[in-house]
Structures are given as structure tokens and as C-alpha cells.
A and B are shown apart, each in its own frame.
Chain A
Amino acid sequence: MRLALLFLLLLVLGPALGEYGLKLASEALILGLYAMAFNLLFHQAGLLSFGQAAFFGVGAYAMALLVSRAGWPFLATLPAALLASALAALVIGFLSIRLSRIYFTMLTLAFAQLLYAVAHKWYAFTGGDNGITDLRPSGLLGESLPFYYLTLGVFALVVGFLAGLARSPFGYALRGLRDNRARAESTGIDGFRHLLLAFVVSGAISGLAGALQGALQRSVFPDYLFWTRSAEAIISTILGGSGTFLGPAVGGAVFLFLRVLVQAKTEYWPFFLGLLLLLMVLFFPRGLGGIFTEAGRRWSTGVWGGAARG
């Protein structure tokens, strides 16, 4: 219900946003998709992937190559991007999920950097560091407002899907594996298979986000695959709070708006970001989502001077 209200708000807000506002809002939704895909692994399955950029980038490049080389219409490339990044996740996940914790994290990072190096050097195929440019979607989707609505639509679909997944036996099985893997496996749940499937789903959504981002920017560069892109998913999740369903998406939006705000005034954005993360981790480890949940709880139980009870 509250989710539906949020989407309604984002829907009617569209025309009120200017050209720049629409771009920023679209980018926030895309980063939200990407961060929530990361958090499916991080929060539900208990896997810290430091290689989400691999799937973000594969999705973006799949879209870009199909549009620029094969002349596909942009919309048709979205399922292809989804599939390509799912396939990449299947391979990378198959090789890394057997490893435990820190080794898993390092291996996902290594695979993403490997793909980055390939995209960076393979001029004939990916255009190297010149990237692939001139990717404006043809027709209506080349306009900011329809593109924003497309992004919002995809975001709503994915959020609905992830909400359903969290309540499904599969979502519970992931939590069971995170809570106590030995216990879960001795009830008949095959850990490797479940985690691999979660990894593939997360990769596919990341790839979808990457394809949308490429179309929004009208270009795709190797930095889509760079490790800082993986870090963006983690930072958004820390800011927004991994324990709250929409937390990572909220964190992503806050991250973007802060970056725009700070970058307009100073060149010290990384410094502010570092400081902000430090404060969040030290004082609000459950992120913005945790703050809101706590505030809501206190409000309804009247811990704040009984104001709510009147």
C-alpha cells in the first residue's frame, strides 16, 4: 500500500521536474535498482559481492553493442541485457560461490576488474576507452519524460518482484542459509544452488540497471565495469540501510543528490563522502532506513514525550 503511494507520487511528480530534474530522478531510480540488486545478495543471502559492476557493465555493453552495431531498437535490448548479465553472473557465480566469505568478495572483485580490462583494451569490439557513444534511444524514449516513466516502470516491476521474492520460500531459504547454513542444509536446502540462483537474479537486475544507465547517458564507457561502480552499490546500501527493504534505493537517491550538491560547490566530494560514510557507520549502522524505522517506532509507542498519545 505504502509502496503504491510512493509510485503514484513519483508518477505525478514527473511533469513537474525540469529536464535536469528528470535526468537526475531517472539516474536515482537506476542506482536504486542496482543497489537493491546488490542488497538481495548482501542482506538476504549474506554474500558481499564486490563485483556488481561486472553485471552493470555487461548489461550496458550488451545494450550499447546491439543498438550501435546491430541496429536494435533500445527497448528490445533490455531483455537481451538482462539475459547477458544473467549469463555472466551464472559463470562468475559458479566459480566464486564455493569460496567462503572474504575469498568470495575478492574473487567477484577480480572478475569485474578482468572484464573492465577487456572492455578497456579491446578497441575493435568495445571501442576501448573511447566507449560507445551516440546511444540516444530513437522515438519517444529519447525524450526525458517518457524515459523517466520507463525507468519508473522498470523500477516498480523489479521492486514488486523483489518484495515477492523476499516473502517466497526462496527468499526464506536464502535467509536460512545466511542465518545458519549447516542447519539449512540439514533440512534439505542445497546452499550452492540457492546462492547461485540469487547471484544470477542479482546480476540480471544489475545488468538491466546498466542498460538503462547507458541509454540515459547516451554512452557506455569501460568505467561502467570499474570497481568504483561496485562501490556505489555498497555505499548506497550503507547510506540507506541494508535491513530496510527500500533502504538501498533511498540511499542511492541521497548519494546522487548529495554528490550533485557538493560537486557544485567544491571539488572535495570524495572527502565529504568519506566523512558521511564514517558518521553513518559509527552512529547509524542501520542507515537512513534504520533511522526512519526507529523514529516511526518511537512515534507510535510515544517514547518522545508521549506526543503521539496526546
Chain B
Amino acid sequence: MELLEVRDVYKSFQGFMALASVSLSVAQGSFHALVGPNGAGKTTLFNVVTGRVSPDRGQVRFHGRDITGWPTPRVARLGIAISFQRAQPFVSMTVLEAVTLARLGYERKTLVWGRSLARHREAVERAEAALAKVGLEAYATSPVAQLPLGDLKRLDVAMALVAEPKLLLLDEPLAGLSRVERRKMVAFIGNLLRQEGITLLFTEHDTEAVLALADRITVLHQGRVLAEGSPEEIRQNLEVRQAFLGGSI
């Protein structure tokens, strides 16, 4: 069953065609990679899915429901979580506070002021559980501002997980990490999401990681879908293209 469907989406910015006739299906439970050079339209496509950008044409469907043009907070509460490429969670808070806030945002409980954040026991417990899943439980009371980059990414993932999403979008989860950290992160993401049964749509430049993680790959180039298939198919497809085109991607 398709969890997310992008149908024939177009988006241009001041004459620049960022996305042209892009279609994409993400099957429930699959790990779907979106690859392509910088400027291929990966981030724009993410923004279209999360509602930060409205497409000029086309549709986004989630669970068969048309969510095109929905505002970001509403998309988020539907079960689509995102972790950003440049993870900059709430720097003025502690780790636990940031994740608790993410949970309360998902529950739409942030317009109340009768009770302090720390006394929303259930949300705090869920936040603690999410931190344990990403291995940050020891840093619960640390200020976010003091975390190193790798931990910030884990924190950002915990903030996404705490909302119990059905679909997780990861924008270059490995950017800025060292080789060792990358390998750990790939294993970590793979194990965690399989365990939780969360569907994944991600972008990544690290080919090795993409091949290790993805069940399915869509190649974007200049705003268009160049190829789609299993990792094996894409590998062959790319080799064929490279043989003819001389490695333009």
C-alpha cells in the first residue's frame, strides 16, 4: 500500500523550474531514497510534502488523502515528521525540554499555561522514551546548545520520533558527520525505524549509505525524475547512463 503519493508536481521559483512533473510513491514500511546533485529539487520536494511550499500544480496524498497545500503544523500532526539537514533544535532549552515541547506540539497542547511543561508527566515520559531510543537519555538535562553535531542530529530525530510519525523525512542525515559516525548513524536509523515500523523518505549524497539503507531509490535531476527503481536497478541504470553520457551525475 502507498503511504505517500506525489502526483505530477510542478514548482517554479521566479522562472526557475525547481520541480517539473515529479511523481513519487512511497510504500508503507519502505525506506525510500531521493538522490541527485545539489539543486536537483530534493529539498523543494520535501518542502512540498511538509507544506512549507505549495506546488504550482499536482497533488500530495497521504494515506490516500489529499493534503496538497496544508499548512506545515497540520501536516506534522497528521503523522509526517521531519528532521532537518542542519539540525538546529531549540537552542535555549535542555534536551528533555525540547523533546517534550515537540510532543506537546504534536498533541496541540501548547496553547495552555495552567500547568508547567515539566508537569505534563505523560509528555515528559514519552520524551524520555524517545531520548532513550536515540541513546541520549544521559543528556536529558544538558542544554541543547552544548551538544556536538552528531548528538544534535540524534536529538532532532528524537523530536521527530516523539510524535510517533507514520512517515519520517530525513534531509541528509549524514551531512557533516565523520566516516565512523556515518556508519553508526546508518545502522542506528535502519534498526530504529524497522523496529518502530516507520516509513522513511530520505535524501543523502553518500552513495554507500543510500545503497545500504534504501529499498527503493528515485533519482532527481534538474527538477525531473530521471530514474526510479530498486538499488540494484538504479546502479545498473546509472552505469549505463554514465557509459553513454560520461558521468554527468
Residues of A within 8 A of B (CB): 164-165, 167-173, 175-176, 178-180, 182-191, 193-194, 197
How many Å lie between the Cα of A183 and that of B105 in the bound state? 11
Compute the total of residue contacts between A and B using a CB distance below 8 Å. Answer: 113
**How far, in whole Å, are A168 and B104 apart by their CA atoms in the complex?**
11
Q: Does the CB pair A168–B113 fall under 8 Å?
A: yes
Q: Contact: A170 with B89, CB < 8 Å?
A: no
What 8 A-B pairs come out closest when comparing CB atoms? A168-B113, A173-B110, A167-B116, A187-B105, A188-B105, A189-B105, A187-B102, A188-B76
> Hey, which chain A residues are within 8 Å of B73, CB to CB?
185-186, 188-191
By the criterion CB–CB under 8 Å, are A172 and B117 in contact?
Answer: yes
With known contacts A170-B113, A194-B111, A176–B84 Cβ distance under 8 A: no
Chain A residues with CB below 8 A from B105, complex form: 173, 176, 184, 187-189
Q: Is the CB of A170 within 8 A of B72?
A: no
Would you call B111 and A188 a contact (CB within 8 A)?
no
Residues B116 and A194 in contact, CB atoms below 8 Å apart:
no
| 15 chain-A/chain-B pairs, Cβ below 8 angstroms | A170-B111, A173-B104, A173-B111, A178-B92, A179-B93, A185-B71, A185-B76, A186-B52, A186-B73, A186-B84, A187-B76, A187-B81, A187-B106, A188-B102, A188-B106
Is the interface on chain B under 10, 10 to 19, 20 to 34, or 35 or more residues? 35 or more
Closest-CB distance, B53 to chain A (whole angstroms): 12
- Does residue B97 face the partner (Cβ distance < 8 Å to A)? yes
Q: Say whether chain A's binding surface is mostly helix, strand, loop, or mixed.
A: helix
Chain B residue numbers with a CB within 8 Å of A180 are 88-91
Contact yes or no, B101 A169, CB < 8 A: yes
Please give the distance in Å from B181's CB to the nearest CB on chain A. Answer: 22
B92 contacts across to A, CB distance below 8 A: 175, 178-179
A170-B112 contact given A175-B90, A190-B73, CB 8 Å threshold:
yes
Most buried by A among B72, B93, B98: B72
